[in-house]
Amino acid sequence: MATFKEFRNNVKPNWCPGCGDFSVQAAIQRAAANVGLEPEQLAVISGIGCSGRISGYINAYGLHGIHGRSLPIAQGVKLANRELTVIASGGDGDGFAIGMGHTVHAIRRNLDITYIVMDNQIYGLTKGQTSPRSAEGFKTKSTPEGSIETTLSPLEIALSAGATFVAQSFSSDLKQLTSMIEQGLSHKGFSLINVFSPCVTFNKVNTYDWFKENVVNLEQFPDYDPSNRVAAMTKIMETNGMLTGLIYQNKQRQSYEDLAVGFRSEALAKQDIKLSREEFDKL
């Protein structure tokens, strides 16, 4: 069985020292090993941004795609080879600005892939512009007077789009983050894991200390029930989106692959089950 070190290749990450993305990479490696994967059973597909480089640093199949398009590629990979475990990854700009249309529809499509967003609330690769996740009043070169737009809430959007797995974590909490990724990989359907991953170079507001002070760990609420969608939405709103842990999981809904006619008939063919035309049409 592969160890987490076997999911590391020999490419040296060129993230800035202290960038949260290092921990996200470590958590992906640990989670992949902990759920019993081998490197050749995993594909990591990323978009554009500092975080998008992650697919080049993990010893697995990988593709560093184009801006905002990690999800169409990841879904194509999964549909072409259902045996692969597929992780899509990228930043908040990649997934929640240019890629938001894909994100919403991938969520409601519910293919069995895990989407890990490294949310630093800024555009890091292009040297610090306001992102959809930046707070109102956030000042950068693109909003020198402070952002006047509402901050986008990916957790609320995911829940309202019919997500079957929504989690959030913080790159400093490696134990929780690894557990969330493990649970996402084990979930049969689309898993969104939003990760607060500080940009130490350009975001001087949402720092490690700021996140430590502001995250609200779900462990504080022992009676919280992650299968209750209304409670999940309420708790997200009550905590201003700073909740970490497994926020929502629907284990009942089947994944896209299990519902798609072509795949189901293919699976039946593998088992040498012959269907009449009438039976086939009912699939």
Residues that bind ligand SF4 (CB under 6 A): 15-16, 19, 21, 50, 120, 124-125, 199-202
Quote the least distance from Cβ 53 to Mg ion, whole Å. 13
Considering CB distances under 5 to 8 angstroms, the limit depending on partner class, which of Mg ion, ligand SF4, none binds residue 202? ligand SF4
For Mg ion, which is the closer residue by CB, 93 or 189? 93
Quote the least distance from Cβ 125 to Mg ion, whole Å. 8
Considering CB distances under 5 to 8 angstroms, the limit depending on partner class, which of Mg ion, ligand SF4, none binds residue 92? Mg ion
Q: For the chain, give the DSSP string.
A: ---GGGGB-SPPP-SPTT-THHHHHHHHHHHHHHTT--GGGEEEEE-SSTGGGGGGTBSSEEEE--TT-HHHHHHHHHHH-TTSEEEEEEEHHIIIIITHHHHHHHHHHT-S-EEEEEE-SSBTTTT-B--TTSPTT---SS-TT---SPPP-HHHHHHHTT-SEEEEEETT-HHHHHHHHHHHHHSSS-EEEEEE---TTT-SSS-HHHHHHH-EEGGG-TT--TT-HHHHHHHHHHTTT-EEEEEEE-SSSPPHHHH-HHHHHHHHHHTT----HHHHHT-
For Mg ion, which is the closer residue by CB, 56 or 76? 56
Considering CB distances under 5 to 8 angstroms, the limit depending on partner class, which of Mg ion, ligand SF4, none binds residue 93? Mg ion
For Mg ion, which is the closer residue by CB, 94 or 182? 94
Check if the beta carbon of residue 123 is closer than 8 Å to that of residue 52.
Answer: no
Quote the least distance from Cβ 16 to ligand SF4, whole Å. 3
For Mg ion, which is the closer residue by CB, 35 or 157? 157
For ligand SF4, which is the closer residue by CB, 92 or 257? 92
For Mg ion, which is the closer residue by CB, 103 or 249? 103
Quote the least distance from Cβ 123 to ligand SF4, whole Å. 9
Question: Where along the sequence are the contacts to Mg ion (CB under 5 A)?
Answer: 91-93, 120
Considering CB distances under 5 to 8 angstroms, the limit depending on partner class, which of ligand SF4, Mg ion, none binds residue 46? none
Quote the least distance from Cβ 127 to ligand SF4, whole Å. 7
Quote the least distance from Cβ 34 to Mg ion, whole Å. 27
For ligand SF4, which is the closer residue by CB, 207 or 234? 207
Considering CB distances under 5 to 8 angstroms, the limit depending on partner class, which of ligand SF4, Mg ion, none binds residue 247? none
User: What are the strands of the beta sheet with 61-64, ordered from one edge?
Assistant: 61-64, 42-46, 85-91, 114-119, 191-196, 165-170, 243-249, 216-217
Quote the least distance from Cβ 51 to ligand SF4, whole Å. 7
